[in-house]
Amino acid sequence: MTDVGHKRAIGFVLGLIMVVLIIVIAGAVSSRVIEPPSDRVSVAATIFPVADIVSQVAGDLVDVELILDPGASPHTFELTPRKATRLSNVDRIFAIGQGVDAWAMQVASISDADVVELDQYTTLICEGTCDPHFWLSIPRVIELVDDIAIELATIDPDHADTFTKNAKNYIAELTDVHRTVDNIMLDAPSRDLIVFHDSWNYFAEAYGLKIRGTFEPSPGREPSPKSLAELEDLVTEYSINRVYKEPQLSDKTLEPFVNDQDVEIGILDPLGGVEDRTSYIDLMIYNAHAIAAP
Ligand SMILES: [Zn+2]
């Protein structure tokens, strides 16, 4: 090899080393910039109370996507393709179970995420079919908070200790709120309730109330003349002077009944996520005040 040829060869090798170094350094820098966001775990929750309860346990370590928009009813909800697409990257889907949010399965099928049905962590009230509205009992929610921490730890093991600690704090807070609600209920003018749809059995169980009648036994379907006649009898039998509607279901058939019976309308909210009910705890306190109102 000539001297010039030799120098060219060295130049070529040095050039090659520089290119390789640039690629390695650029790779290290870009992976340092890009990796952390993709490490972040994200989960979905079917209804607002579940989203808030999971958020309390997750802290700010996990993104919690709410599937059912506040103001909508899980009983009449249909998942849009747009929303399904937005949820395609979640790692878990927290649901109630018992068919109330069966549409969670549609999200699961596009995201490949497991659905965690929280009904497995409490004992349900069953008469033939089981009542899914257990989140409306604070003691029932307390039972499953630790299980949510365990579930989050399986998808984000690095933060397991934080989830356990958050769960413990939230249980302490819920225990206090349960006592507060119990105290508010001491002022309830009546312990006999006629509610809009059949979602208040767990609330009644927790606070010594009796659900005497339900305006829409099938949520979203108008009551039959026969069931309206039965409700009229119950109003008399239990000296009911207030019946309850719910923000998520149309109440236009309730008006004539209320006018005929000379009862007033209160609002019980099983789902929240709106107005002064932007946490599960605020939702429960709101409902206690609604029943305790003079
Ligand atoms: Zn319901």
Q: How far apart are CA 12 and CA 208, in angstroms?
A: 86
Mean per-residue pLDDT over the chain, rounded: 89
C-alpha 18 – ligand 1 centre gap (Å): 66
C-alpha 129 – ligand 1 centre gap (Å): 13
Q: What is the pLDDT of residues 114-172, one digit of tens each?
A: 999 999 999 999 999 999 999 999 999 999 999 999 999 999 999 999 999 999 999 99
Q: How far apart are CA 70 and CA 238, in angstroms?
A: 33
Residue 31 confidence (pLDDT)? 47
C-alpha 115 – ligand 1 centre gap (Å): 19
**Domains recognised in the chain with CATH numbers:** 40-182 (3.40.50.1980), 187-292 (3.40.50.1980)
CA count, 13 A, side-chain hemisphere, 205 = 16
Q: Is the pLDDT of residue 38 over 60?
A: no
Tell me how far CA of residue 203 lies from CA of 29, 121, 126, 244, in angstroms.
54, 17, 15, 14
Give just the sign of the alpha carbon dihedral 215, 216, 221, 223.
negative
> What length does the chain have?
294
C-alpha 117 – ligand 1 centre gap (Å): 16
Lowest model confidence (mean pLDDT) among 6-10, 149-153, 203-207, 255-259: 6-10
C-alpha 76 – ligand 1 centre gap (Å): 10
Q: How far apart are CA 86 and CA 12, in angstroms?
A: 50
| pLDDT tier, 268 (very low <50, low <70, confident <90, very high otherwise) | very high
Three-state DSSP class for 287? helix
Q: Find, among 123, 174, 205, the residue nearest to 279 by Cα.
A: 174
C-alpha 131 – ligand 1 centre gap (Å): 9
The predicted model gives 22-37 an average pLDDT of 50
Among 11-20, 54-63, 67-76, 212-221, the range of highest mean pLDDT: 54-63
C-alpha 199 – ligand 1 centre gap (Å): 5
DSSP state letters, 221-260:
SPPPHHHHHHHHHHHHHTT--EEEE-TTS--TTHHHHHHH
C-alpha 100 – ligand 1 centre gap (Å): 7
C-alpha 16 – ligand 1 centre gap (Å): 68
C-alpha 21 – ligand 1 centre gap (Å): 62
What global pTM score does this model have? Answer: 0.85
C-alpha 132 – ligand 1 centre gap (Å): 7
Q: How far apart are CA 110 and CA 82, in angstroms?
A: 12
Q: Is the pLDDT of residue 192 over 90?
A: yes
Residue 267 near residue 290 (C-beta atoms within 8 A): yes
Q: How far apart are CA 115 and CA 94, in angstroms?
A: 6
Q: Find, among 88, 87, 58, the residue nearest to 153 by Cα.
A: 58
Contacts 24+ apart (CB under 8 A), 117-120: 118/50, 118/94, 118/144, 118/147, 118/148
C-alpha 75 – ligand 1 centre gap (Å): 6
| pLDDT tier, 21 (very low <50, low <70, confident <90, very high otherwise) | low
